[in-house]
Amino acid sequence: MIVNEAAVRAVGVTKRYGAGQTQVDALVDLSADFGKGRFTAIMGPSGSGKSTLLHCLAGLDQPTSGQVFVGDVELSHLPEKQLTHLRRDRIGFVFQAFNLVPTLTAFENITLPLDLAGRTPDRDWLRTVIDTIGLTDRLKHKPSELSGGQQQRVACARALASRPDVVFADEPTGNLDSQSSADVLGFLHRSVREFGQTVVMVTHDPSAASYADRVLFLADGRLRSELLDPTAETVLDTMKSLDPAVAG
């Protein structure tokens, strides 16, 4: 497995909101590499800029300065249309909630990015993904007929359906109970281990971060620390060392 090649790179990314007195720097000159075939977690307290970083990496938001590369494509100068197509073809998304289109069945939701691109799905790959999320018998159901955990697993399957360069997950377990969280995280973990996918996940849950290969710690828009092969304990320890408030 090639681990030193980056799927996504941030180079000197700064994101500034507002101007003058109300100016806030969400990200300050941040650089980071996210290796291919790796599962990276981004952690940090509220307002640390972790979601902003994810949005900039995914081409949903434009950095004020600095560059973002997905593969060898630099995002900051891409026009809106190509940015959209990049998201569709090379990036997968899992949001905290409201991931699915209510009018479409689970299966239609999974193939939606492919349908939007007008691409024929790779049937074997699709079957593998669906088998892995374990919802074969619920594919014809509408999202409203699925539990929260099932909905998130469908969202994960959708993110992987197009074999993207990278899957971004923004607090994917934020609204789930522990069993459902374990299912979703286990699935993301397997997609990296078994299928060689790349996953970048924002979370504030140390046990969720423990599924990752690497954890980046952010505070005040800056990269503060990094942990390889984390466990829930080592993650918690690192958080404590960075933010005294967590220790209490």
Partner 1 sequence: MLKIGLRSVLAHRLRFALCTVAVMLGIAFVGGAMVFTDTLATALKKQFAGSTADITVTPVDPVESRNGPPPTLASAVVSEVAAVAGVAEADAQLLVSDVQIRKPDGSTIDTYGLATYGAGWPHAISTSPFRLIDGQQPFGTAELALDQSTASKAGYAIGDQVRIVSATRAVTAKLTGIITPAQAGPAAGAPLVVFDSATAQLVLLGKPGWTSIAVTLKPDADTEQVRTAIAKAVGDPYNVRTAAQVEADGETALDTTFGGFSSILLMFAGLALFVGAFLIVNTFAMQVAQRSRELAMLRAIGASRGQVTRTVLAEALVIGLIGSTLGLLLGIAVAAGIHFAYQQLGAAIPSAGLQITPATIIACYLIGAVLTLAAAYPAARRAGRLSPMAALRDGATIPERSLLIRLLFGGFLLLMAGCLYAVANHAGGMPGAVLIGLASAMALLGIVLTSPLVSRYAVRALMAPFGRKAAVTLGRRNAERNPRRTSATASALMISVALISGLVVIAASAKASIDASIAAAIGTSDLVIGSSDPDTFSPQVADRVRKLGEVAAVHQVRQQDGKVDDIPVRLTGVGDGTLAGPISVTLDSGSLDGLAKGQAVVPRTLAKTLNVSPGKTFTLVTTSGTHKLTVAGILSPNRQLNAIVVALPTYESFGGAPADSLLYVDVADGTSMAQASTAVLSELKDYPSIQVRDQQAYAAQARGPVNAAAGVIGMLLALAVLIAILGIVNTLALGVVERTREIGLLRAIGMDRPQLRRMLRVESIAVTLLGALLGLLVGVLTAAAIQRVLVDDGLGVLDIPVLQLIGAMLVSALIGVLAAVWPSRRAARLNVLQAIATE
**Residues near partner 1, by CB under 8 A:** 55, 60-61, 80-81, 84-85, 87-89, 91, 93, 95, 98-99, 101-104, 108, 112-113, 115-118, 158
- Is 138 or 158 the residue whose CB approaches partner 1 more closely? 158
Q: How far is the CB of 85 from partner 1 (least distance, A)?
A: 7
Joined together, the tokens standing for residue 51 give: 């979601």
Alpha helices (runs of H) in the chain, residue ranges in sequence order: 50-57, 80-90, 106-117, 123-133, 148-161, 178-193, 206-209, 232-242, 244-247
Nearer Cβ to partner 1, position 95 or 125? 95
The residue (of 54 and 212) whose beta carbon lies closer to partner 1 is 54
The nearest distance, CB 81 to partner 1, in angstroms, is 6
Which of 88/163 has CB closer to partner 1? 88
Please answer whether residues 161 and 191 qualify as being in contact, where contact means their C-beta atoms are separated by less than 8 angstroms: no
Report how far residue 225's alpha carbon sits from residue 215's, in angstroms, rounded to the nearest whole number.
8
Nearer to partner 1, 105 or 238 (CB): 105
| Residue number, 156 or 239, with CB nearest to partner 1 | 156
101 vs 247 by CB, closer to partner 1:
101
The least distance separating partner 1 from the CB of residue 57, rounded to whole angstroms, comes to 13
Contacts within 8 Å (CB) and 24+ apart, 180-185: 180/147, 180/148, 180/149, 180/152, 181/149, 181/205, 181/207, 181/208, 183/134, 183/149, 183/153, 184/149, 184/152, 184/153, 184/156, 185/211
CA 196 – CA 173 distance, rounded (Å)? 22
Query: Helix 106-117 crosses helix 80-90 at what angle (to 10 degrees)?
Result: 130
Measured from the CB of residue 225, what is the shortest distance to partner 1 in angstroms?
27
Half-sphere exposure of 103 (CA within 13 A, CB side): 0
Minimum distance from CB of 193 to partner 1 (Å)? 24
Kindly calculate the radius of gyration of the chain based on its CA atoms and give it in whole angstroms: 18
* Residue reference for tokens 């990314």: 13
Q: Cβ 109 to partner 1, closest distance in Å?
A: 10
Q: Are 127 and 148 in contact (CB under 8 A)?
A: no
Q: In the complex, what is the shortest distance from the CB of residue 181 to partner 1, in angstroms, rounded to a whole number? A: 18
